[in-house]
């Protein structure tokens, strides 16, 4: 049962595999992007749970009470993830913009149809 003690990592692995499978197995480009989003979120969850210290509090040094002996969570992974979330949002935005343009140019966003149309063209 020891392996279940790190259940947060199991969640990360599960989400990551769901995301990766969706990217590979789904034909519709928007669904692929959703899978990509889940995949990225799993890594964000990994960092966030990594920074949490059991029993730790928010890393703000209090003004009055003596600051010694307080257990803090590690704020750095959380701060890093702010950047990673921005990167994820930007990727999703570029991806969706591309899907819109693909839909305009081809009239479809299904990967197998796109491949057929590309193959006929070349």
| 4-11 contacts, C-beta under 8 A, 24 or more apart | 8/45, 8/49, 9/46, 9/49, 11/45
Q: Tell me if 46 contacts other proteins by CB under 8 A.
A: yes
Residue with token string 């959380």: 78
Residue from the set 28, 31, 43, 110 that interacts with other proteins by CB under 8 A: 43
* Shortest distance (Å) from residue 64 CB to other proteins: 27
Residue from the set 63, 65, 68, 121 that interacts with other proteins by CB under 8 A: 121
| 66-69 contacts, C-beta under 8 A, 24 or more apart | none
Residue from the set 14, 25, 70, 118 that interacts with other proteins by CB under 8 A: 118
Residues 87-106 that bind other proteins (CB under 8 A): 87, 90-91, 94-95, 98-99, 101-102, 105-106
- What string of DSSP letters covers 64-101? SS--TT--B--HHHHHHHHHHHHHHHHHHHHHHHHHHH
Cβ distance to other proteins smaller for residue 13 or 60: 13
Q: Tell me if 77 contacts other proteins by CB under 8 A.
A: yes
């Amino acid at each position: 049962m020891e392996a279940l003690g790190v259940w947060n990592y199991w969640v990360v692995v599960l989400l990551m595999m769901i995301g990766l499978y969706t990217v590979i197995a789904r034909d519709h480009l928007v669904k692929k992007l959703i899978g990509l989003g889940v995949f990225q979120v799993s890594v964000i969850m990994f960092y966030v749970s990594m920074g949490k210290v059991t029993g730790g509090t928010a890393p703000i040094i209090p003004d009055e009470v003596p600051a010694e002996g307080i257990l803090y969570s590690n704020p750095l992974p959380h701060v890093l993830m702010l950047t990673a979330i921005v990167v994820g949002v930007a990727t999703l935005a570029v991806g969706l913009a591309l899907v819109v343009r693909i839909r305009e140019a081809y009239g479809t966003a299904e990967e197998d149809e796109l491949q057929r149309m590309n193959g006929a063209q070349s």
